[in-house]
Structure formats: structure tokens, C-alpha cells
Amino acid sequence: MTEAPRIGFLGTGLMGLPMVLNLLAAGHRVTVWNRTAGKAAPAVEAGALVAETPAALATASDVVMACLTDASAVEAVLFGAGGVAEAAGPQLFVDLSSMHPETTQRLAERLRGATGMGWVDAPVSGGTPAAKAGSLTIMAGGSDEDVARARPLLAPLAARVTQMGPVGAGQMTKLVNQIISGCTMAVVAEAVNFARRSGVDATRLTEALAGGFADSKPFQLLAPRMAAEDFSDPLGTVAMMLKDLDTVAEVGAGHAALPMTDAARALMRESCEKGRADQDISTIALTLAERA
């Protein structure tokens, strides 16, 4: 019987930590690293080993996975001092972060040249509730061989993994997802504020509209939080969504009209300027309310 690959996981933040816990619960051997070491403590308590550097993590792993804030963070753990590229042994890098598709392709080529590692870009959708439940949606880019190797490791994390094409295709599909998600978030905030200003009990909107054309998973998750102004246990931050929508605008510049995305970006940028960058995405409703 072939022994399961050893997994190294870089990043134990809002999304990364529940992914690690699900991998451990599925019986995988996991070594973790996080820039702020204390954030890895719950994973270690659940049975993960901890590495002092990304290079040390890679040396102890057959497959390295990462869920980090942005492209610069991914590049740093791969090619910075003590980075993954200094280690020998890992066969595959699976990136669950979100970034520009061309950046993904450039980093993948650089990593393959330095170490021979394959690359699967596997950005996720579903927020922290799906990360905790192991029901994320993953859109993957990579060779058939590399995606097939990654699938068993992604199974404890996701309800669905769809291969969209070669390296970078997963990231491009994530941008499509973020257009729909980001604009929906802005519209839900607008609807909740409209209801509250019009005398409608906004806390009952999800019940009233369930099953109709206005219903959706984002609506069911976000509307109650916005109506109650309860932003505990964040679903994701304003800054993270703005980062992705800014990437959409960059990729689409000159060949795709993005009026709805531009409006959502403006609301999220305004929220960041008001000090809500690292707060729950639902706080964009507060920014809209302050306009009135």
C-alpha cells in the first residue's frame, strides 16, 4: 500500500487554519508554518508538526500547500531567505491563494526551474464557513498529472474541485467568481440598507426571500450579519475582496466592460479608507449607511 504524501502547509490564517484542521481530521500528516507563529498553535494542538522556516517545512514534505494573503507573500515563502526553493524533495506546490493569473504562471515557471516542482493553482470560494465545513469550491489550474496528484489532498477541503485548464486557469476562473461574489456582496448591502431605511424588518429578509430569485448563498450568509450589525467570526475581509476586484480590473482593462465591478470596488475602497480594511466584508453595509 502506497503511503500517503506528507503535506506541508504554509499559512494558518482565517482560511488556512480550518483547512489544516480538516487535513488532520482526514488522517494526513501535516507540517505547518506561519509568519506569526502563534497563529499555528491550534493546528499544532490538533496534531500538526511545526517548521521554523518554509524551507524546513518543504524538506519534511512531499507536497507543499499554501493559503496566503497575496502574490508577494507567496513569492516570499517560495524564493525569499529560507524559502521553499532552497529545499529538495517536494514534488508539487498547491497554491490555494488568489493572485493575478500571469503572476501565477511566472512563479510556477520559476519554481519548476529551481526545484522541478509542479504547480497547481487552486483558489477557493465559500469563505470561512465552507473552509470550516470542508465544503469549499476549488477551481484548479495545472497539468492533468499534477491536478490528479492534488485531488486526494484537496478532497478533505472541498465539495467540488474542477480542473479549468493549465496553470493560471484556476486563478482566472477565481476572478470570474469574484466578479459575481463581490458585486453580490455590494448589492446585498444596498438591499439591507434600503430595507432598514424603508421600515422593513431587515432581520427577516432571508426568511422572506428564501427560494426566490433574490436568494443566494451570499445573501443567506451576509444579510443577517448586515441587518444585525454582527460582524464577529469574519467571513473574509474587505481588503481581500478589494484586492481580488482590483486584479479583475487590471486583467479586464481594455477588453471587458466592468461597470458593476467598478461600483463594488468603489464601495470596498471607501470602506478601507474608513478603517474597515481588515474587518469582515459585511461591514461594507456600514459604509453605505454612512453615505445616507
Catalytic site residue 174? yes
Distance between CA atoms of residues 140 and 154, nearest Å: 10
> Phi/psi class of residue 134: alpha, beta or left (left: φ > 0; alpha: ψ in -120 to 50)?
left
Which residues in the chain belong to E strands, given as ranges? 7-10, 30-33, 49-50, 63-66, 92-95, 118-121, 124-125, 136-141, 158-165
Q: Are 122 and 94 in contact (CB under 8 A)?
A: yes
Of 132, 174, 243, 274, the active-site residue reads 174
Q: Are 131 and 124 in contact (CB under 8 A)?
A: yes
Q: Could you count the other beta carbons within 10 Å of the beta carbon of residue 254?
A: 5
Burial of residue 151, with CB atoms counted within 10 A of its CB: 0-12 exposed, 13-18 middle, 19 or more buried: middle
Q: Are 93 and 104 in contact (CB under 8 A)?
A: no
Give catalytic residue positions.
174
